[in-house]
Amino acid sequence: MKFYETIIAPATAFGQSGIGIIRISGSSVAQIIKKFLNISMKERFAHYTSFLDINGNIIDYGIALFFSAPRSFTGEDILEFHGHGNPILLDLLIENILLLKNVRIARPGEFTERAFLNKKIDLIQAEAIGDIISAQSKLAVKSALRSLSGTFSKKICIIIDYLKNLYSRIEAIINFPDEISNFFDIKNNLSKTIKLLKDLIYIAKKSNVLQKGIKIVIAGPPNVGKSSLFNYLSDQKISIVTNVPGTTRDVMHNSIYINGVSCELLDTAGLCKSNNTVERIGIKLAKKNILDCDHIFFVLDITNNNKINNHMILNSIYKLQKNQNITFIFNKIDLVNQIPRVDIIHKKFSCLYLSVKKRIGVNLLTSKIQEISRILNNAEGIFLARRRHLVELEKSVNYLIIGKKDWLENDNIELLSDNIRLSMQSLFMITGHFSNDDLLNKIFSEFCIGK
């Protein structure tokens, strides 16, 4: 795709630095080289030269790089100035180049948008560039790089190929009903494709946690040591700690990094029946965050045996959302002369016995968080998926499940054909082969200028 205007923008963050980079893409690059560098440039070669203003006066000295279309990031001619990282110099050079006709400042993400529109990358890879820049952990960076390399795209394309094959075979059956057809083979291939999509959704959900981080909510009754635990894990005093029940009324947040994974910790109000309006609001917020988290640290005071029973523990487990987990923490073991230990209940839920105040057994808690993050670290080949990708994947698999059910129960192969077509459309929305302008504008507007 050929664009009328040439775009320019700084490719480095604003502020003083060792190097400042300006990126230019478009048909006016040759004119800019002649006017502002006045040298003969070799493609993909670093030229040390002077940078000139519109009148031929020297503005700066640095490295200039030229990438010829179509062998460039955007698929157009690209020119980069690598000069001294003084914003005044960069602005001066940009101001002079903007004096040329048909050259303008790039919109946020416009370089990547042009790469997508020129079919240099698909939409998954375009979004991966933004994810690499905004990643909050080492593991998220690695996963975004896998998406950029095409890992996610290849998996989607394999499923699309299966669906295309199924769609063409079913359309042939509809148009030529007298021909002998292997319905058993179609059913098997449909089941196989549904399984592939479900497996992909499972991985995508894991990768979505990488992007937003693991959300751990510290919950439990009032005055059991939740805020002390939050402060210990945060390695700083953030929450107020007193002997008065109901001290914490708002939700306190802090992020920590374990094994390269971002963990968001939340200290919440004590769960109880209260007549205090403010405390009731805090309890409501606590319950909302409990429903929305990945892991719950449910803290209990071991000295209050009358409030700890199997019914209460089982009730907490039964209320868990899908893909949620819970760890029960029995605090204040120093008051009952117990030793720190780990028990497992109902085959998979950990019970940690410790004392936060006396720092007895707190290493068990650190090990537990490391275990939670290690599950993600061990996910080989994981890519980074956005919430939008998950929505389209789930729509895609649901179309197939509905179509298969209706075909087998009502012998309606025409509806199966329609559902396969809709399933493919959802996958095309992920790769960008079938996207509306509003979606593209939303995605690329989230990028920084110069990308």
Give the residue from 377, 232, 237, 207 showing the smallest Cα distance to 297: 232
Tokens of 272: 């109880």
Alpha helices in 261-309 (DSSP H): 277-291
- Which residue ranges are tagged as binding site for (6S)-5-formyl-5,6,7,8-tetrahydrofolate? 23, 80, 120, 451
- Which residue ranges are tagged as binding site for GTP? 223-228, 242-248, 267-270
| Cα–Cα dist 272/42, whole Å | 73
Alpha helices in 64-223 (DSSP H): 87-97, 110-117, 123-134, 138-149, 151-175, 183-212
- Which residue ranges are tagged as binding site for K(+)? 223, 242, 244, 247
| Cα–Cα dist 375/60, whole Å | 51
CB contact set of 51 (below 8 Å; sequence gap of 6+): 36, 37, 58, 59, 60, 61, 62, 64, 81, 83, 93
| Cα–Cα dist 183/3, whole Å | 49
| Cα–Cα dist 321/217, whole Å | 13
- Which residue ranges are tagged as binding site for Mg(2+)? 227, 248
| Cα–Cα dist 125/74, whole Å | 13
| Cα–Cα dist 35/56, whole Å | 8
Exposure on the CB side of residue 284, measured as CA atoms within 13 A: 6
| Cα–Cα dist 155/410, whole Å | 32
* Coil, strand or helix at 318: helix
Task: Provide the residue type at 54 as one letter.
Answer: I
CB contact set of 267 (below 8 Å; sequence gap of 6+): 218, 226, 227, 229, 230, 238, 239, 248, 251, 252
- Which residue ranges are tagged as binding site? 23, 80, 120, 223-228, 242-248, 267-270, 451
